[in-house]
Amino acid sequence: MDYKQRVSESFNRQGFMNFIGAKLEKIELGDCEIIVPFSENLTQQHGFFHAGVVATVADNVAGYSAFSLMDSTSSILTVEFKINLVAPAKGDFLIGKAKVIKQGKTLTICQSEVFAGDRENPKLCAVAQVTLMELRNREDQ
């Protein structure tokens, strides 16, 4: 199974990503993107995207960017992440991107950015630093 298939099948097994309407927009090696259209169901008390949704995207997009580079018989786990919410997550879409800073034997470190707005004019709303763990010989499902 190639990495695109591994990533998209793993993504599709996540009940929560489906529940919030998230889509994998891009699957390249070490470079995935996730998009979430706005819905009243995803709001915080002022009507913007909830920080929990923003964090979900920041974590997940880092996870799949890392996972795309891992061995085909490996599974992945988020060890920890840290996120700064730098602007209100306001708009029609949330778009998450990640880059792999370091891929180690066991741990992979990524940085994510989440943008909110319309597709033409997305604005940075969060930056995150994520530590992921490769579980070897424990195929994801």
Residue 5 near a second copy by CB under 8 A: no
Strands 123-135 and 93-103: unpaired
Residues 14-43 that bind a second copy (CB under 8 A): 14-20, 39-43
Which region among 26-34, 49-57, 90-98, 114-122 touches a second copy (by CB under 8 A)?
49-57
Distance CA 30, CA 119 (A): 22
Q: Which is nearer to a second copy, 53 or 116 (CB)?
A: 53
* C-beta closer to a second copy: residue 29 or 79: 79
Cα gap 76→64, rounded to integer Å: 9
Q: By CB under 8 A, is residue 129 in contact with a second copy?
A: yes
Burial of 77 (0-12, 13-18, 19+ CB in 10 A): exposed
